[in-house]
Amino acid sequence: MVVLVTGASGQLGQSIAFIASKYPEIQFIFASSNDLDITNEDRVTTFFDQNSIDYCINTAAYTAVDKAESESDKAYRINVLGSQYLAKACQKSGTTLLHISTDFVFDGTASVPYTETDTTNPIGIYGKTKLEGENEVTAHCDKHFIIRTSWVYSQFGNNFMKTMLRLALDRDALNVVNDQIGTPTNAVDLAETLLTIIQSNSTMYGIYNFSNEGVCSWYDFAKEIFRVNAISTTVNPIPTEAYPTPAKRPAYSVLDKTKIKTIFDINIKSWQESLLQTK
């Protein structure tokens, strides 16, 4: 079985590579943007023509939420056009596409966990382009799994956990927002789930939610990061308005995982348990 991983230099791509040896039956092709520029349709088409690919995991994305507000064209090329080109290539070659999306497709006004069928209403460029990317996948590739996830972190790439650990090296105290509520997702757990979907040979295509279990604020997350790493830096809770950013964030982005747990019979760790794995 051949599995292409786009965006291989990102944290999810690196997380898949980290566990790849556990799946000897899979031949992985790890392609960074230098190996495969998904915004170039001709290159995507040629790549698929030259390789026999059973599954494509698209982890390539423009994820700089704030910069997207001023770089909307770049975000559109990667998140929308790149998704379209991959979807068309997968459809032509009979490849199943696993496409990673985000909680930012929602506006964050809910008070109970979002299901896959809840109304989308992104409030920033990043969320809007990711939702358009979902629509391109749905429109152009019959065999697709769209996985919405949230607050992704790991020992790889750039993420909130690594930022907190870096800042704590030379600061005695940090201010972190405590009124944005969601669930951290360990990228290695997400990687394991993607490969579980592939190994299932399922044809239950569509949209799925995945994060770790539990609910917290960014303030709670930061405090736990420091606790498990025995760091004494003080964390002060602040409201969102005290930390203005170019892009608005959803105030509530907890995802309901009932569908993915039921269909693929997976047990999901709590975010606290999973955080211990990245110490």
Six token digits for residue 126: 């990043």
Six token digits for residue 54: 């059973």
The rounded distance, in Å, linking the Cα atoms of 249 and 238 is 15
Which residues have C-beta within 8 Å of that of residue 227, sequence separation ≥ 6? none
DSSP 113: P
Q: Which of 76, 126, 153, 252 is catalytic?
A: 126
**Which residues, listed in sequence order, are joined to residue 153 by a DSSP beta bridge?**
186
The rounded distance, in Å, linking the Cα atoms of 101 and 98 is 10
The rounded distance, in Å, linking the Cα atoms of 90 and 82 is 12
Residue 126 is among the residues annotated as catalytic for this protein:
yes
Q: For the chain, what is the radius of gyration of the CA atoms?
A: 18
Q: Which residues of 17-51 are buried (b: 16+ CB within 10 A; e: fewer)?
A: beebeebeeeebbbbebeebbbbebeebeebbeee
Which residues have C-beta within 8 Å of that of residue 236, sequence separation ≥ 6? 173, 174, 175, 176
Nearest to 101 by CA among 71, 77, 126, 76: 126
Which residues have C-beta within 8 Å of that of residue 12, sequence separation ≥ 6? 59, 100, 152, 154, 157, 187, 190, 191
Q: Which residues of 210-229 are buried (b: 16+ CB within 10 A; e: fewer)?
A: bbbebebbbbbbbbbbbeee
Residues noted as catalytic:
126
